[in-house]
Structures are given as structure tokens and as C-alpha cells.
Amino acid sequence: MQCNVPLNHKFDQGNLMKLFQKSSSISSKLPSIKNPISNHGLKCFQSRLEHVSTSQPEHNYKPNTTLGAQLDAFYRFTRPHTVIGTIIGITSVSLLPIQTMADLSPTFFIGILKGLLPALLMNICVVGLNQLYDIQIDKVNKPDLPLARGDFSVEFGSAIVATFSILSLAKGLAFKSPPVLSAVVIWFLLGSAYSVDLPFLRWKKYPLLAAACILCVRALVINIAFFVHIQKYVLGRPIMFTKASIFGTTFMSFFVAVIALFKDIPDVDGDRHYGIQSFSVQLGQERIFWLCISMLLMAYGSAVVIGVSSQYPLNMMVTVFGHCMLASILWLRARGVDLKNNAALASFYMFIWNLFYAEYFLIPFVR
């Protein structure tokens, strides 16, 4: 049963809540009046009040304009877990073409930086673009983000996004690496299609398209484009995908699909309210949660089988032991998650990103 209780936002919500609490206490002292307000009705009204209070902007909120506060707001604006994922992912992929220690030259490390810089700029551009179009949703799902909380104005957020997009594309052109330039262009196009609210866009409203956008960038673009960048345009070798690169691309496709599914699990309240039909909204949080866990365990099991086939004892031991350990930690942690607690689900989502980082440390050992 839905609770459709209209509210006049001019009323003081705190006084309304106090009025209801007083009515409940008075009714309990009058035995002749039975249940003047049903428990369900009171809970519905209270739930509606709480939802409105969290989804409405705080008109009295005054952003802190000190340098430290603005730097902290910018840090939150960048969505640092995605930035860390980009740094670790590109660095790991860049190591895969290495054949001898002689390859670890200054030219190689400069090549990594030439790939990282445009990618990081575009990463911040795309996550910022998503925040510009998700301000109302984020007031419910992620109220600490700077645009949702009011630390940044829309104009300032737009300026950051425009500046970082131009810098990223300019660096991609200046570094004369077609794979890097292609990567940031595709990243920008898919990020725009995911977030921008225009006809035929705003793909985040459609679960399959939303997952495809994230998978294409995080699993395919990063793992293929930056591998080719290092192998051909830094080391000067013909393009030849190694066992580790093929494994990494395939494994990360599974992993990124899990991230794409799981990221919506803690956000069902805001998504449902604003018409975002994610899989979690359609099928329920619990079902998607255990689907994600099953997908990751299958991926870890496949990694163990591939590790056993390695001809190098050290690589085999690291690959097998590492993936068994990650799978065990995942299973033990998943069993203790309160699926009715969005804060616990959000914490577990960040834990999955930690597993994502850890995987990139194991991929170079697949030989």
C-alpha cells in the first residue's frame, strides 16, 4: 500500500511531527476512543515527512567558502573511488605488455602518465556531468555530494565539467596516441549519453543501456585502449594481446557488470521516486544483491582454473591463492550484510570497489 499524503511545504515539518506524536499520546490515554489514527497511517505520514525533509533543499544552508572546505567539496565532487579505480586500472593494464626489465624505462613511465592524465580529467568530467543532472536524486540518495548539498553552485559545477572535458580532449590530441584519444572521446560520449537529460539520451533510466555504458568504459576501453597505447605507441611493438590482457578484459567485464548492478541497490528510494527503473527497483534489492555475489564468485572460480593452468609456479600460486582469498572474504562479508539497511549496502558497494582494486594487482600475474 502506498502512502500518498499531500503536504504543504510551507508548514513546519517538525511541528507536524510533534502534533502527530501528541495525538498518539492523547489517544492512548482515552480508552473510549480506539485507534483514532491507525499505526499504518501514522507510519505512512511520518515516512512521507522524512522523505520530503531529505529531498527538499536546505534553504538556510550556507556553504563554507574557506579554501579547505572548497577543496573537500571538490574531493567529493570527483567521486574519489572512481579516480582510484582509473589510476590502478590503467597502471595495471600498462604493465601487461612488459616482457623484460629493460622495458621499464623512463619512456615507459612517461607513456603511463600520458595515458593517465587525459583519463583522469575525463573521469572527473563524466562524474561531474552525472551530478549536474542528478541533483534532485542525489538530495535523497547522496546528500553529501557538493551540488546536492549546496557547496557548489550549478554554474560552478558546469564550469568544472566544461574545463576538464576540454583539457582531457586537448591532452589526448597533444600526446598523439590514437588509443588514448579514442578512449577519452568514447568515455565522454557514453558519459553524456548516460547522464544528459535530452531525447534519446539519459540512458541511466534504462538498466541495460546504463550497464552497457559502464561496462564499455571500465571493462573494454580501459583494458584495451591503454594496453594498445603502451604496446604500440610507447614500446613500439606490434599489437598482440597477451593471456593476461585477454583474461583481464574478460574478468573485468564480469566485475564491472556487478558494479553497474550493485551501485543502484542502495539508491532505490531516490531512483523509484524520480522514475529511474533500475534492476534493483524492478526486481528488488535482495535478488540483485545475491545475483552480484554469485557473478563475482563465478568469476573468481574461473580465475582459479586459469591460474592452475599457468606454467610458472610463482604466478600460479599468486593467482590461485589470491582469488581464493578474495572469494572467501567476499562470501564472509556478504553473509553479514543487512539487506534492509541502505547504509550497510552502500558500505558493501565501496567494499566491492576495494575488490575491484585488488583484482588489478592480480591480473599481471596471469601468465
More confident residue, 260 or 5: 260
pTM: 0.80
**Which CATH number belongs to the domain containing residue 118 in this structure?**
1.10.357.140
309 and 353 co-located in one domain: yes
Domain assignment present for 166: yes
CB atoms near residue 324 (< 10 Å): 15
**149 in a domain, yes or no?**
yes
Percent of the chain past pLDDT 90, that is, above it, reads 75
Q: What is the extent of the structural domain holding 36? A: 13-55
Three-state secondary structure of the chain: CCCCCCCCCCCCHHHHHHHHHHHHHHHHCCCCCCCCCCHHHHHHHHHHHHHHHHHCCCCCCCCCCCHHHHHHHHHHHCCHHHHHHHHHHHHHHHHCCCCCHHHCCHHHHHHHHHHHHHHHHHHHHHHHHHHHHCHHHHHHHCCCCHHHHCCCCHHHHHHHHHHHHHHHHHHHHHCCCHHHHHHHHHHHHHHHHHHCCCCCCCHHHCHHHHHHHHHHHHHHHHHHHHHHHHHHHHCCCCCCCCHHHHHHHHHHHHHHHHHHHHCCHHHHHHHHHCCCCCHHHHHCHHHHHHHHHHHHHHHHHHHHHHHHCCCCHHHHHHHHHHHHHHHHHHHHHHHCCCCCCHHHHHHHHHHHHHHHHHHHHHHHHCC
Whole-number pLDDT of residue 61: 75
60 — pLDDT class (breaks 50, 70, 90): low
Q: pLDDT band for position 322 (50/70/90)?
A: very high
Do 267 and 335 lie in one domain? The reply is: yes
Residue 24 scores a pLDDT above 90 = no
Number of structural domains in the chain: 3
The mean per-residue pLDDT over the stretch 16-39 comes to: 42
Q: What is the pLDDT of residue 276?
A: 83
pLDDT in tens, 82-91: 999 999 999 9
169 lies in a domain? yes
Whether the predicted pLDDT of 22 surpasses 80:
no
Is 135 a residue whose pLDDT tops 50? yes
Among 310, 328, 330, 331, which residue's Cα sits nearest to residue 319? 310
7 falls within a domain? no
86, 233: one domain:
yes
Classify residue 5: in a domain, yes or no. Answer: no
Q: What's the pLDDT score for residue 291?
A: 96
Residue 269 pLDDT > 90, yes or no?
A: no
pLDDT of residue 77: 97
Q: What is the mean pLDDT of the chain?
A: 86
Q: Is residue 3 part of a domain?
A: no
Q: Are residues 40 and 183 in the same domain?
A: no
Residue 153 shares a structural domain with residue 250:
no
**Is residue 4 domain-resident?**
no
With a cut of 90, say whether residue 349 has pLDDT above it: yes
- Let me know whether 281 and 224 are in one domain: no
Residue where one domain finishes, among candidates 179, 214, 241: 241
